[in-house]
Amino acid sequence: MVQQHTIALLPLLLMFSLSGHALPTDKDQPVEINSDSAELRDKDGYAVYSGNVKMTQGSLEIDAERIELFFPDKELTRAIIYGGERGQAYFQQAPKTGEKLVRGSADRIIYQIDPDEIRLLQNAVFCQKGSEQKGMRIIYDIEKDIMRAKARTKTVFRPDNVPGSCEHIRSAYR
């Protein structure tokens, strides 16, 4: 049986925010990662968490098979999030107080700190306020709240007066 690890990241990683557009209190919350295994190479500015990985910071939740963190010079610059045999990588976050969760899933997700964006790659789905975008590559600019899809896409828009839900986009790791 694999032992479950709960890893509270180093104080240097606690300073980063995984969303500039999200709830203002998210960036002030501690980052917590639960995984079946963890490897930290502090000198190299690299960490990898594997096996049923759950990462949270405030309203942000990420579920995946594997997460790699890159933090050269003691500052997080990006995270690469991988799905696995159980399903796709998944994220959800409350963009503002009182708003429905923004949700997405893909075979691989890249969170880039500068610019503040989430890239959903391979079989990507992004859902906000019930409107859904599917494609091979979706880029969400968190700070500007702009979604861009690359390659062939399928979009379902819901008018504000026809409330939709993103509840059907769920994590395979829960």
Q: In this predicted model, what pLDDT tens digit does every residue of 121-144 receive, in sequence order?
A: 999 999 988 888 899 999 988 777
Compute the residue count for the chain. Answer: 174
* Cα–Cα nearest to 156, from 128, 127, 125, 131: 131
Query: Which tokens in the block code for residue 6?
Result: 């709960």
The model's pTM: 0.79
Map residue 76 onto helix, strand or coil: coil
Domain boundaries defined on the chain: 5-156
Rounded to an integer, the average pLDDT of 12-20 is 38
Question: What gap in Å lies between CA 112 and CA 142, rounded to an integer?
Answer: 10
Q: What are phi and psi of 126, to 5 degrees?
A: -130, 135
Q: Which residue has the higher pLDDT, 11 or 102?
A: 102
Q: Are 38 and 47 in contact (CB under 8 A)?
A: yes
Q: What is the structure's pLDDT at 168?
A: 81
- Class at the top of the CATH hierarchy for domain 5-156: mainly beta
pLDDT for 116 beyond 60: yes
